[in-house]
Structure 1
Amino acid sequence: MDGHAGVLDSEIKLDSARGGDTKKKQEELDELQKKASELAETTINTLTTANEDLKKAAKEDQEVQRAEKAAEKKKAEKAAEKKKAEKEAAEERIEKAAEASATETTEATEGVRIVTTEGTTSEHVSIDVVSEGALVSTGTVTEPAGKNVDVKV
């Protein structure tokens, strides 16, 4: 439209310099300029509306992302609390077991003797379990039967 308007403007100037009638071309130019103006206004309105819609959508996306992050954070906090509670419960059970075993040396049934040490806490304890009266013959030497057992406390 702008190109056609430029051509009409040039023709009007040439025709007026020659003394010709420019009324019809001037009306066509005015109509063309009016349509171009309306088209530009419509385009601007459409782009403005699209821009507002994009801003609104972006804002909604940000709100959704914030909500998702808040939910993830809350879930992580709950998991951390649960893990902490489980750890505290395990530590409490270990302490109770250590207190109970620190004060006793027990003779168990069938001749198995359990010996504990006072105040010893460890994550891994090696215990030798030997049944009294059982002997293992390795050929020339007879040794007491026993088995080393690793216990995780």
Structure 2
Amino acid sequence: MSSLAEWLAAFRQLHDKARKQHLTERERAVYLSGRDELARAVIAAQRLSTVVGQTPRQALRIARALQVDLDWSVGSERAMTLDLSVGGFGALLAKPPPSDEDLKFSLRIPGADPVAGRARVVDVKVQPGNARVCFAFVGLGAAELERLELFMFDALLTQLAG
């Protein structure tokens, strides 16, 4: 059996190949399984759980500050995310947007084009002076979801290396 360090080194090599879209079909299967394995370990460490039918990669959340521009019918705001998942993100806003409409978002990913689309407010926690708002992506395409997931695993691997 290999050590965790060896497993991470092998996973990192596959991740680098995935970023360059140079995986064979077999390597892609091993890589996706590795993503689930790493996500499962992080979810357990965070004491989170998955919903029935949800893969560990879908349940994974990372704490990451990214600039996000939000536009809705009666306003707009530039904010920083608090956390990110392939399902959505959380951010602190001066005040929450309307919860009865989808809004446009543009999420800036370092070194890449922004991920843009529509999001829906799914939770609001009003605090003194601001509100923590959780958004769920609406209809985000497979290519955009893959870009987000690659970014999330980049961030995880960087944290584990440090």
TM superposition score normalised by structure 1:
0.27
Q: Which has the higher strand share?
A: 2
Higher relative contact order, structure no. (Cα contacts within 8 Å, ≥ 6 residues apart): 2
Q: Which has the higher helix share?
A: 1
Q: Which has the larger radius of gyration?
A: 1
TM superposition score normalised by structure 2:
0.26
